[in-house]
Structure 1
């Protein structure tokens, strides 16, 4: 892995999770970017984070594997109070016993003494917190090295990437495009586009000309970034053709034929 930015700080922020209150663990890099990991438990993590800070601080993301190993080897020292049972000192052990104890059974009267003792225990990083920090590290390493999570795993651990496509449908929206570009060649079987459920004429065009122009752009984009990929182009027009063509089947079939020609050689999947 090429030289990547250094880690400069760790954050802990409260967050809401589906199971209740949780935490967000933030990893800040020297370039100002922050990557987050989700911790499902609400625990007092600030003291632990302060101990982990010296381990991660100033380290480059290119040392990803070494940093993960250090997290695995991390142990927090915790002072706890344990109740220790001391050995009973019986009258028999002292060499004397009374007539009363002889009759009632002197052993029944001899009880171990419970004493509180403070001890130091070494505990590993709590699993939810370790997951959150690892998630932030992993996301940061993937994005900063311009790789997908899968390709990063392959590079770091010598894993074998799938040789065929995984049946994965990905929505082609602005939030997903950075990821889509990296996984398109081998993992995307269907690239989706949702036109929305209102204002169809403005969105699609009076005769679906805007939609056809869009799918031509999608086709050109696929050919430019991943010419070896062959995903289906999935259009969800949410009743758009029924509204545009007033349920005229002939016109709808004509529009579908035009779209099919526009996306060739890719397959067209329509959802209305």
Structure 2
């Protein structure tokens, strides 16, 4: 960054599944499927219980009519026998109690089945409400979901390594060959020196580089100082040849 090399070269983007949203959606969809199954089961149970309750009610009512018909016949027989009013009332009460006792468990069963039908109907309604709420939450989740991307920044990493190497090289050249006034020079300040045209003369023992001067006296003085410093330290290239640097007295086209 001090040398002005903080450039982002970009990265490849690949659409990927939003894992957090996917987890929430999976849980909601699983619950929605379970509620759907529970709802259908409750509806079926409520329907069967309702049909059974109707059937039992009709059977119990018919059975009760038969019993009360027999009761009436018995009471009519008592009247024909000419029993006293007290005896008639006592006998009628006794016979009615017997009939009611026989019908009571049947009516209780009808009541239990009706209650079962009511409970399953209530469950069905509750599951319907829950399913509507779950579907609404799933719709909201889909509406708020943002596309996620997997970033492949290998290109940027490679370029960062190259830029770091270049920055290190530039700082090494700056600290070793440039005047002390360039101790904190940035890449922008050093770049004009690296872009200077000139001649390159390659020999067996040395490589001589002749650089064209600037149109600025101060920069030319700095360039001359750089040339002197390079020649004093006598750096060598990777093949062992000596590097010689000097400034031309006149400008011209670049030859390499």
TM-score (norm 1): 0.23
TM-score (norm 2): 0.25
Q: If you compute each CA radius of gyration, which structure gives the higher value, 1 or 2?
A: 2
Higher normalized helix content (fraction of residues):
2
Higher normalized strand content (fraction of residues):
1
